[in-house]
Amino acid sequence: MDVTILGIESSCDDTSAAVIKNGHLLSNIMAGQEVHEKYGGVVPELASRAHQQHIVPVVDAALKKAGVKTSDLDAVAFTRGPGLLGSLLVGSSFAKGLALALNIPLIAVNHLMGHVHALFLPEEEEKKPSLPFLCLLVSGGHTQLIQVNNPLSMDVLGKTIDDAAGEAFDKCAKMMNLPYPGGPVIDELAADGDPEKFSFAMPKVNGLDYSFSGLKTSFLYFLRDRLKEDPEFIPKNIHDLAASLQNTIIKILMEKLIRSVELTGIKEIAIAGGVSANSQLKKTLLETGKNRGWKTYFPARRFTTDNAAMITRTAYFMYLTGKFDTQDVIPKARMML
Ligand code: KG4
Ligand code: ZN
């Protein structure tokens, strides 16, 4: 019997819908939100309003592209959290309404689990991690070291105690007067810079947890002092600044990743989330992996950022094991795995 699932992702600033049939991705439609660019960050109120405008056309397009009618659907999935509550509410309300109208199961998916599933999309990609594997999930909202035991069982070994890695990119980029989101801009600028030119504070956090707020403060004070001497310091040093900042973020990420491999003995290593698109992080992971005998895995570029395909793939596994939700399930801004 065929299993066709429609999934919706609306946790932050992208509205996305995907259709998966028997585990195969048929469509994945995304609508970004430009309204935030001029504010230098996502404005929650504007995000939920934009989700409301996008959700019907995005779901429509996903069904059309997949060649699927609503009567063909066996379940409706949505991102339960973590994320912006107002944004999550748009996706969850729509999914609940549709599941109720069609009288089919509702599946509430953990967004973090979704990011890990992005590693297995698209299916044609040959190199997939084998279980158990470690996944460093790095995005604008999360920084977590995850041990993946099976598609629906994951343990968080370490997480950030303050800012996320992507937030460090975005906030420091803002201090350099760069546009939002800063991560990709810094990635590009850093290619022509000296990563050792400037050095910033490395955090001292116990165990496998991360911290990025100290780096942010250290970067701010550094810029403030240099700007006193030379108001043109930022534009004159933009490439070296970007490269040195990026280098510090990557060093922080790699330190705990290496320690988690030593502790668990697992050498199947993946990265996921928006920051996993960073070219220098990928290079560093490849080199470190080569030197230490790890097998390394990266999600396809288009599945690194928030998308409904990863949510729907997770939902497919939940469907197979009968993990359904009722109409009173509520979205959660904060949520662990
Ligand atoms: O996964 P994502 O789309 O959203 C969240 O769930 O947070 O990740 C967005 C984050 C932003 O902080 C953005 O700056 C960062 O991913 N990012 C990058 C790169 N591309 C996106 N950071 C560093 N280098 C990149 N190439
Ligand atoms: Zn995300």
Task: Please report the domains of the chain, with CATH numbers, ordered by start residue.
Answer: 4-117+304-320 (3.30.420.40), 129-298 (3.30.420.40)
| Tens digits of residue pLDDT in 198-220 | 999 899 999 999 999 999 999 99
In the structure encoding, which two tokens stand for residue 217, read together?
């403060």
Residue whose Cα lies nearest atom 3 of ligand 1: it is 305
In the structure encoding, which two tokens stand for residue 203, read together?
């955090």
Q: What is the pLDDT of residue 21?
A: 97
Q: What are phi and psi of 133, to 5 degrees?
A: -135, 165
The pLDDT of residue 193 is above 90: yes
Would the CB of 129 count as within 6 Å of ligand 1? no
Q: Decide: 253 and 209 in contact? Cβ < 8 Å.
A: no
Closest to 76 measured CA to CA, from 306, 312, 309, 330: 312
The span from the CA of 213 to the CA of 223, in Å, is 16
Closest to 164 measured CA to CA, from 136, 138, 135: 138
In the structure encoding, which two tokens stand for residue 146, read together?
């995850």
| Tens digits of residue pLDDT in 66-125 | 999 999 999 999 999 999 999 999 999 999 999 999 999 999 999 999 999 999 998 776
The pLDDT of residue 40 is above 90: no
Q: What is the pLDDT of residue 47?
A: 85
User: How far, in Å, is the centroid of ligand 2 from the Cα of 230?
Assistant: 38
Neighbouring-strand partners of residue 159: 144
Whether the CA torsion 38, 41, 45, 48 is positive or negative: it is positive
pLDDT cut 70: percent of the chain above it: 99
- Region 216-227: what's the mean pLDDT? 97
User: How far, in Å, is the centroid of ligand 1 from the Cα of 183?
Assistant: 6
Q: For residues 181 and 7, which has the higher predicted lDDT (pLDDT)? A: 7
Q: What is the pLDDT of residue 125?
A: 66
Q: What is the pLDDT of residue 123?
A: 76
Neighbouring-strand partners of residue 137: 144, 272
Minimum-distance ligand to the CA of 304? Answer: 1
The span from the CA of 272 to the CA of 277, in Å, is 8
The span from the CA of 84 to the CA of 332, in Å, is 8
Q: What is the pLDDT of residue 37?
A: 74
Neighbouring-strand partners of residue 138: 143
Give whole-number Cα distances, 198 to 166, 194, 241, 245, 260, in Å.
Answer: 20, 8, 7, 8, 28
Q: β-strands 133-138, 268-272: how paired?
A: parallel
User: How far, in Å, is the centroid of ligand 2 from the Cα of 72?
Assistant: 29
Say whether the peptide bond before residue 132 is cis (omega within 30 degrees of 0): yes
* Helix residue ranges per DSSP H, 4-66: 44-66
The span from the CA of 26 to the CA of 6, in Å, is 10
Closest to 69 measured CA to CA, from 6, 9, 1: 6
Q: Best of 139, 279, 280 to mutate for ligand 1, by most ligand atoms within 8 A of CB?
A: 139
The pLDDT of residue 33 is above 80: no
- Region 29-40: what's the mean pLDDT? 80
The pLDDT of residue 266 is above 70: yes
- Region 258-263: what's the mean pLDDT? 98
Atom of ligand 1 at shortest distance to CA of 139?
8
* pLDDT band for position 39 (cuts 50, 70, 90): confident
- Region 123-139: what's the mean pLDDT? 89
Q: Best of 275, 280, 285 to mutate for ligand 1, by most ligand atoms within 8 A of CB?
A: 275
Neighbouring-strand partners of residue 19: 6, 27
- Region 234-243: what's the mean pLDDT? 98
